[in-house]
Structure 1
Amino acid sequence: MAEEALRQAADAIIREARERKASDIHISEGMPIWYRVNGRLLPAQTQMSAEEIRGMLYAIMPKRHAEKFEKGFDADFSFQTSDGHRQRVNVFRQQKKMAGTIRLLNASIPTLEELKMPTVLYEMAKAPRGLILVTGPTGSGKSTTLAAMIEYMNQNSDRHIITIEDPIEYVYETKKSLIHQREVGEDVGDFASALRSALREDPDVILVGEMRDYETIQAALLAAETGHLVLSTLHTTGAAQTVERVIDACPTGGQNQVRVQLAGTLKGIVSQCLIPCGGGVTRVAGTELLVATDAILNLIREGKTHQISNMMQSGTALGMHTLNMDLVRLMQQGYITREDAAIYTNNKAELEATLR
């Protein structure tokens, strides 16, 4: 098939996936095409030969990424279909064959209210400086939550916002805020160097797609320390674990300094997971929310992160809650079952105690 025909084939598969309300498409040479719909994997109606799949993945891959892929690296890039929808694509090899995962992005940015996020996130988004972390496993909606926060700022404040992403997912239209979006590999070499450069670009807010390594973490903390509001993500499943991950990512000799930096900059952590509900027809977000009170920051500074969960349970008046507290709320409101809660809890014993 010609390259244009292959791109049209990709358009058709993505269109079918969107009609079925899928979040992801899984494509592999010599295997059926699968869609992830509300957390479940379902076969696609359209199927392609191994040769067609290989050609299609190369057809949608930018030349620079194709060259990188040929050298043995995975390829991360964004792809826009003819109807204007954007997708995030990861192409990789498995058993010496080509495979890809396509994440379907929303055409419009949902509001925090539409996402049913805690209202305290609106207050965090108003903070003039500090560090806000959105965490959770892959596919838990972290990027969408961050996009909703950035769009809230865009509509309600006059700020200079710089986003550093790999790749760019949601594209913003300038409203009250000026927004510059930089893509790793296209506009800048890596997250850490982009962060250092951003400090010379008069930003008010910096969105870092992911804090992947010590260098990026250190640059993000420095940006937060020097009067900027920094938002980023981590692949962790809880507020206390997030604090520990940030500290553990740093060399042993520098961990005390990072504790002090984190205690001086952290504004809040929202950890989330998406739970199938309504018989698998839709999903709802279960969240854990830490608000950086003086007491919480003291625990971080003193290395007592194991006490954070207890502090959060007693901080409901300030908007805090643990994941188990939110799972119980979702059960009481009829969104999920007790069985669902048992699957998604990060502490089964605590969940049972909360239910009792």
Structure 2
Amino acid sequence: MNSHFYKQQFEDLLASMLALGASDMHGSVDVYPVFRIQGELLEQNQLPVLERGTLKGMAEALLSAEQFEHLTTQRSCDLGYSNGVGERFRLNFYFERGGLAFAVRALNNAFCTFEELRLPAQLEAIAGQKDGLVLVTGTTGSGKSTTLASMINKINEERACHILTIEDPIEFVHPNKRSVVHQREVGEDVLSFADAIRSAMREDPDVMLLGEMRDLETMHAAITAAETGHLVFATLHTNDAVGVIDRLVGMFPGNLQNTVRQQLSMSLRAVVTQILVPSADGSGRVPVNEILMVNGAVSNLIREKNSAQIRSVMETGRSQGNQTLEYALALRVKDKLITYEKALQLTYRKEQFENALKVLNR
């Protein structure tokens, strides 16, 4: 069978995925496709079982020769993909138990406003920063990419500047609006994140989006770029706004940690942590955001290795945009967007959540 046949089979799966409102699809040898719908994984037994030859045919049809070679040697390969009508997806082909498998994430390239995504108003102020490092953190599937795309789109619509994104793969395609936007894909346009950041210093960017900080070299380059007058957005896989600082510093060798801590104290502007919670009415999922806005007091605490006190600043500094997870959960419960029971499951600080809810309901 030719590549067109397997590509069409894959596109049919994508169409089924979108028709059912799935955010993700998983495929592996001799099982039915599995869709993630409103956060729940559901086997699609109305679709054909994926056979070994079918998965291999799909990989060969969708990947370039270089990508297929990478899959064969490195045992996994990421790529961005547009279907026949221009809808965007993020694909990962990989091996498991000796057979091919894939994971697909649907990407809605129609940029939504913060209000449409139900994101907190503080993100507008964060998008308006002129320089420094902004970290958007959360587990896989927490909507980080969508939130970042909305922030970049807002800058694109409102500021005449040069935006450079470095991604693996490119997820959301940003056309030029008021800004000039260039998007580089690791493996396609540049060899590595660190290489892309280093060369970016000669490409006159005002704003940089770094898809993920995966290694020390990339982290160091991102922090340095933020120090030198650029606004840098980056993601990390953590679910605690305060803990991300110590985790980031702790990933560096001991002899560099003080220097990195000093750099972060001067360059970090905000940390936004996001989780997606099933809505109370069952219609979808609602973002819940913990937000740390870095001011002089927080900078000093970072510099003095006193991260434990940062949470106190967050709890008492809501007027400056700070928001603990407990307060964010209480806000969603008060507005009847998520259930009280679900919020209780998501917090390790039940007393603070209960107190925040009492204050909000006065």
How many residue pairs get matched? Answer: 356
What's 2:275 paired with? 273
Query: How far off its partner does 1:236 sit?
Result: 0.6
Residue 24 of structure 1 aligns with which residue? 24
Shift of 1:278: 3.4
Structure 1 residue identity aligned to 2:16: E
Paired amino acid for 1:293: N
The 5 A counterparts of 1:220-259 are: 220-259=222-261
Q: Distance in 2 between matches of 1:355 and 1:117?
A: 19
> Which SS does the other structure have where 1:239 is aligned?
coil
- In 1, the alpha carbon distance for the partners of 2:188 and 2:350 equals 44
* CA distance in 1 between partners of 2:309 and 2:217 (Å): 28
1:34 corresponding residue in structure 2 = 34
Whichever residue aligns with residue 25 of structure 1, its letter is M
Distance in 2 (CA, whole Å) between partners of 1:60 and 1:166 is 16
Out of 96, 109, 113, the residue aligned to residue 107 of structure 1 is 109
Counterparts of 1:96-175 in structure 2, within 5 Å, are 96-175=98-177
Q: Does 1:83 align with 2:103?
A: no
Contact 2:331 2:357 survives alignment (8 Å): no
AA aligned opposite 2:48: Q
Give SS of 1:71's match. Answer: helix
Q: Percent identity?
A: 41
2:195 to 186, 193, 196: 193
Q: Secondary structure of 1:271's partner? A: strand
Q: Deviations over 1:120-175 (max 9, x none)?
A: 21122122111111100001111111111111011000000110000000001101
The answer for unaligned runs of 5 or more in structure 1 is none
Q: Secondary structure at the match of 2:277?
A: strand
Displacement of 1:277 in angstroms is 1.5
Q: Which of 67, 71, 76 is equivalent to 2:73? A: 71
Q: Render the CA deviation track for 1:72-123: whole Å, top value 9, x for unaligned.
A: 4311111111111111011111111111100010031112221111212112
Structure 1 residue identity aligned to 2:35: Y
Give, in whole Å, the separation in 1 of the partners of 2:220 and 2:136.
17
Q: 1:130 to 1:92 in 2, by over 3 A?
A: same
Q: CA contact under 8 A between 1:89 and 1:102: conserved in structure 2?
A: yes
Q: TM-score, normalised by structure 1?
A: 0.96
Secondary structure of residue in 1 paired with 2:116: coil
Is the CA contact 2:161–2:180 (under 8 Å) kept in the aligned structure 1? yes
Q: Are 1:29 and 1:54, in contact at CA under 8 Å, matched by a contact in 2? A: no
User: How far apart are 1:350 and its partner, in Å?
Assistant: 4.1
Distance in 1, Cα, partners of 2:72 & 2:41: 29
Q: Is the 8 A contact 1:237 1:346 kept in 2?
A: no
> Structure 2 length normalisation: TM-score?
0.95
User: Which residue in 2 is equivalent to 1:213?
Assistant: 215
Q: What's the secondary structure of 1:242's corresponding residue?
A: helix
User: Deviation digits for residues 163-203 of structure 1, max 9, x if unmatched?
Assistant: 00000000011011000000000000111110010011111
- Greater CA drift, 25-34 or 40-49: 40-49
Q: Which amino acid aligns with 1:46?
A: L
| Runs of 5+ unmatched residues, structure 2 | none
Match of 1:52 in 2: 54
> CA distance change for structure 1 residues 58 and 350 in 2, over 3 Å: closer, same or farther?
farther
Change in Cα spacing, 1:145 to 1:70, as seen in structure 2 (3 Å) is: same
Question: Aligned pair in 2 of structure 1 residues 346, 216: CA closer, same or farther (>3 Å)?
Answer: farther
Deviations 1:224-258 (A, max 9, x none): 11111111000010111111111011111111111
- For residues 2 and 346 of structure 1, the distance between their equivalents in structure 2, rounded to whole angstroms, comes to 54
Distance (whole Å) between structure 1 residues aligned to residue 191 and residue 344 of structure 2:
42
1:260 corresponds in structure 2 to 262
AA aligned to 1:26 is H
**3-state DSSP of counterpart to 1:124:** helix
Between 319-328 and 341-350, report the one with greater CA deviation: 341-350
Equivalent residues of 1:323, 1:346 under 8 A apart: no
Which whole-Å CA distance do the structure 1 matches of 2:91 and 2:345 have between them? Answer: 29
